[in-house]
Amino acid sequence: MKDVTPRRPADVLLEFLDGAFDPERLADVVTRLVAEDAIYVSLNFDDPELARLMPWAGTKRGQEAFVENFRGVRTRWTVDAFQITDTLTDGDRVAVFGTFTLRSVTLDQAATSPFVVFARIADDRITFFQYMEDTFATARTFLRGGSWTIDADPAAGAPIQV
């Protein structure tokens, strides 16, 4: 007889993350661990300008969104390191914190960033997944040249060049 004991929500999310960055395992973990109508929020809710640079940015729905998002990340970066440092669970909600280092495929530039994943799990499947990182740092791995003029501090008197 098959064991039908529900898994701990954290175990579902951790298994998903363990396989999501592996191109050979991605489709399988999505099929097994992501609900068909799951919501994926990556970096923001809707930012067309950021989506030009990172097409997975924004809110997407369905298992295919998870596959496309992780494949997109892997076509633009290699993952040099991915470390989970903390996991918090509250009922069906799980938050995972950590650090990663990505290296751009086009320019071979690396960035290390903190990350957080927040997920809701129901019936051993991810129904909601929200991913956040230091987008400023990761986007800079694609910067070929030039600078950004940032005018954020009203007391500074002048913008800064980054």
pLDDT at 19: 95
Q: Which of 3, 4, 28 is nearest to 16 (CA)?
A: 28
Residue 3 has pLDDT above 70, yes or no: no
- pLDDT tens, 78-120? 999 999 999 999 999 999 999 999 999 999 999 999 999 999 9
Work out the pLDDT band at 40, boundaries 50, 70, 90.
Answer: very high
Crossing angle for the helix pair 63-76 and 26-33, to the nearest 10 degrees: 150
Report for 32-41, 51-60, 70-79, 135-144: range of highest mean pLDDT: 32-41
CB 129, CB 38: distance < 8 Å: yes
Complete domains list, the chain, with CATH: 9-144 (3.10.450.50)
Q: Is 139 exposed, middle or buried (0-12, 13-18, 19+ CB in 10 A)?
A: middle
pLDDT for the residue numbered 152 = 83
Q: Collapsing DSSP states into helix, strand and coil, what is residue 26?
A: helix
| Residue 15: per-residue pLDDT | 97
| Mean pLDDT of the chain, nearest integer | 92
Q: What angle do CA 80, 50, 96 make, to 5 degrees?
A: 45
- The pTM of the full predicted model, rounded to 2 decimals, is 0.88
